[in-house]
Chain A
């Protein structure tokens, strides 16, 4: 039992021992502050976003609950039922093309030439008279009278545009736009749209908002058009919205409705933020682990410096337990200091980053102090500090008091006592569990924990390996080389330290660089060679022939492909409800909402069949299905299985004929569900089209299509990809910043280790200097030593980082993996060079000091 008196005494002694100052703990403090700060910052921002998602849940959703349905408006019956439940506001959104009207003063006089600049893809949203039920839509001029401004004046409806659209089409209030067949007048620029984050899908274009009454005039709502209808409800006071949402599903199980309540207003965004926060937290934890190595070093050298005090205390009759307490208390106090600094950093940084964030997210993050989340960061810091301190602490209490009689006798460091080892194992397990239990994706977190542990051990082993190898190598003739080799393995060598502190950080950085590189490749700057230039959606069947002629009439347009497009949900598999038949939880998305469905007679060119075979070209039997590998995996089915699809309310049972491996990276038309001919031909449908064209002809194609078919939406692949890649670049930036913290921590640790081994090394160097060696010669020795260590470390880190990136991309993100040797080499070598250069600068400066004082001291 530990008594209070004992603890008080330990605290008193600990305080006295710390009087010498905490200079030796600068690295310790910095490492902890950085790691804890990174985690705290990530957690604070995530906390801010989640808080506003919760607080503004009603505004984001647009109601206490909302019902969304694709394609079809609710039927009169359904509508009546909804009205009976509460106040209903209806919105419809879809993608469409908007054009600056040319018949107005100030518009461009040469319509043929600059049309592309004055037209573009928009996310059109039509709102009814009750919009918004919650929250306020504000305009940049301060106005918020939605209904008044959107109403028709002199036969022209009003419209709001967001800032991006205003800039892109150089619009100002009073300008006119055509969208579909309608002309609307800009009556305000949107400053804040309350339910923007609730819409769910990625916005490929800027917002254009009109009144619901203006929608028919556009002619855009036709059978099969991709319109999202949303019914936002204000429920009677006191209704449990979540419970209500569940009853709706039961009342209309087959309506194809997606029902949500305000407590989960933006599940995709929530999920995205959760996952990003988890990922960044894990990266931050790596920084903390790297920092932990520095913490361990600092504690070790502190304990080394305290050997004398410990032995003296023992001579004076202090039990080992008291000594352990004294030094543990010191470490705890210092850790507290470092953690506090980290928390302050983590709480303040988001304030600074808040502005930048505001532009990137559809909602405003409630930046603030989130005690729970800061506590998590602090706990991570504390446990890490303890894990890395316990070993040297445990060793120190075993320092024999007899040392005092034999000055300078090299005290062999023993193993810490068993209970310290047990505590260490327990704390390490606690750290791992904490990381796993606080994660949304526990499997990923568990892999991370195991991987991080293995990496740590691997680098520890590599350090020992290098030391052993250096000892076995024959002694070179050249003095510089010989000295370098000896430095690698002599007692008190830094080899293990350099490898460990540099290795972890480098591994993370390599992994992040490779993952990001793959992302960029996938979506960004380098378009797949055979990617189409345009996607056209909402082509009506009766427009198909004319559409073809119009597009192909433009010189340069080629490879026009069209496909019928319907939407359907998988309702049953082998006669049982599909939701219950999901085998692979990773593929659950196939039953969430509807999938694209098409029909075709033949396999497309280059189709990859995994199992089964396509129906013959002249097939006319009972319905058959071609499904993608994902669908097959989701249910664990193959050819011969029976699936029931619901397409526009009609249920069709079909037998799976073929399982296909779809390559989504080509950005061509891909349907996860393809029906055999003879089933869907007469269902309401639209067509999709893709076309390729040289970049210089893209403008002409868009112009031709827009002027002939106002209802057809043209999505320029390059622009869409640019939108997506901006998001990814921003995420990549966040990841890289946190990963960089890892390397900074690693550099600090390394600098600390070098500084610790420095005295001895500089003493050597000074002796060499006295013996007549030039500084350059001495520096060369260090360069060889650190260079060798750096290269070995970079090689291992490169391999491990590549492995990590491969695993994350292929196993976690299900993406295609491309090895990027230049990225790897550049990251690994550059970081190694920078880190080692810093170490050498320190040595050079030390070498420039006069030799005499050092010699006198020794």
Chain B
């Protein structure tokens, strides 16, 4: 797999949702091309459509118009269950509020996507994944017994463990204090770099955006700015430990 292969293609993407108040045009024609291994930050004011864009890319929301191609697959034509399988195989998602399964231990949470894929070594890989985020000693703890930062680390391990090509992270540090957030970001960048994963990160933090390869600014459902960030951002060096 070549590094310059396109990991994500959006062409004329629009999203219109029905709501009680009428139709809302949320995404109004987005064209975007992202290379494999790129680290993208998406910024923009609240309500500009950042989360909606992530959902469309993750196959969680169907676009109203345009095409979405991820890892060579056009999502538009896939059925609900095909989309689910596509996510299982290619996409890892990290949320602002973790979204761990409350009734499952950290280990089970991380193993879950691989179990869904029917992989025999799901638990071993989950153990490795948790070790990679420094939680080797908390395998059997339930989310309720973990701090916010620890929960997000579990969520990170869960997103990365199946080795997806694409990680979608929607304000992953939004619910965490600054230091803990910093720790999560470092882990995320580190893992992405190590596995060559494409990373799309929604953030309100300009400092964080600056550590990515490229920043896309949304406003009112349109891309208003698409800038490559100068190399040698501090995030990279710090990530390499």
A168 CB–B CB distance under 8 Å? no
- Could you tell me how many residues of chain B have their Cβ less than 8 Å away from some Cβ of chain A? 33
A780 CB–B CB distance under 8 Å? no
**Contact bitstring B83-123, A, C-beta under 8 A = 1, else 0:** 01111110001010101111110001000110111100000
**Contact bitstring B55-99, A, C-beta under 8 A = 1, else 0:** 100101100000000000000000011001111110001010101
Given contacts A20-B103, A320-B80, is CB(A315)–CB(B108) below 8 Å?
no
Chain A residues contacting B100 (CB-CB under 8 Å) are 312
Most buried by A among B52, B58, B100, B102: B102
Most buried by B among A12, A16, A311, A318: A318
A443 CB–B CB distance under 8 Å? no
A406 CB–B CB distance under 8 Å? yes
Chain B residues contacting A17 (CB-CB under 8 Å) are 101, 103
Q: Does the CB pair B87–A315 fall under 8 Å? A: yes
Q: Does the CB pair B104–A16 fall under 8 Å? A: yes
**Contact bitstring B115-146, A, C-beta under 8 A = 1, else 0:** 11110000000000000000000000000000
Among B88, B97, B103, point to the contact of A317 (Cβ < 8 A). B88
Interface-located stretch among A154-162, A396-404, A689-697, A782-790:
A396-404
Chain B residues contacting A311 (CB-CB under 8 Å) are 99
**Is chain A's binding surface mostly helix, strand, loop or mixed?**
helix
Q: Does the CB pair B112–A316 fall under 8 Å? A: yes
Among B61, B80, B116, point to the contact of A316 (Cβ < 8 A). B116
A321 to B97, CA, bound (A): 26
Chain A residues contacting B88 (CB-CB under 8 Å) are 316-318
B9 CB–A CB distance under 8 Å? no
Give the distance to chain B from A814, nearest Cβ to Cβ, in Å: 58
Give the distance to chain A from B70, nearest Cβ to Cβ, in Å: 13
Q: Does the CB pair A318–B116 fall under 8 Å? A: yes
B27 CB–A CB distance under 8 Å? no
Q: Does the CB pair B103–A321 fall under 8 Å? A: no
B214 CB–A CB distance under 8 Å? no
Q: Does the CB pair A317–B87 fall under 8 Å? A: yes
A407 CB–B CB distance under 8 Å? yes
A457 CB–B CB distance under 8 Å? no
Q: Does the CB pair B60–A316 fall under 8 Å? A: no
Chain A residues contacting B117 (CB-CB under 8 Å) are 317
B35 CB–A CB distance under 8 Å? no
Among A309, A319, A322, A407, point to the contact of B101 (Cβ < 8 A). A309
Given contacts A17-B103, A401-B60, is CB(A314)–CB(B84) below 8 Å?
yes
Most buried by B among A317, A319, A320: A317
Chain B residues contacting A400 (CB-CB under 8 Å) are 60-61
Q: Does the CB pair B108–A16 fall under 8 Å? A: yes
A775 CB–B CB distance under 8 Å? no
B209 CB–A CB distance under 8 Å? no
Give the distance to chain B from A695, nearest Cβ to Cβ, in Å: 73
Give the distance to chain B from A604, nearest Cβ to Cβ, in Å: 77
Q: Does the CB pair B80–A404 fall under 8 Å? A: no
Give the distance to chain A from B140, nearest Cβ to Cβ, in Å: 12
Among A9, A309, A314, point to the contact of B118 (Cβ < 8 A). A9
Most buried by B among A12, A19, A309, A312: A312
Chain A residues contacting B84 (CB-CB under 8 Å) are 314, 317-320
Given contacts A309-B103, A405-B170, is CB(A315)–CB(B93) below 8 Å?
yes
Given contacts A18-B103, A316-B158, A317-B85, 9 further A-B contacts (CB under 8 A): A16-B103, A16-B108, A314-B60, A316-B113, A319-B84, A400-B61, A402-B55, A405-B55, A406-B51
Provide a sorted-by-A list of 20 A–B residue pairs whose CB atoms are within 8 angstroms: A9-B115, A12-B115, A17-B103, A18-B103, A315-B60, A315-B87, A315-B99, A316-B87, A316-B88, A316-B113, A317-B87, A317-B88, A318-B84, A318-B88, A319-B81, A320-B80, A322-B116, A401-B60, A405-B55, A405-B95
The 9 closest A-B pairs by CB, nearest first: A317-B88, A319-B81, A317-B87, A316-B113, A402-B60, A405-B51, A401-B60, A19-B103, A319-B84
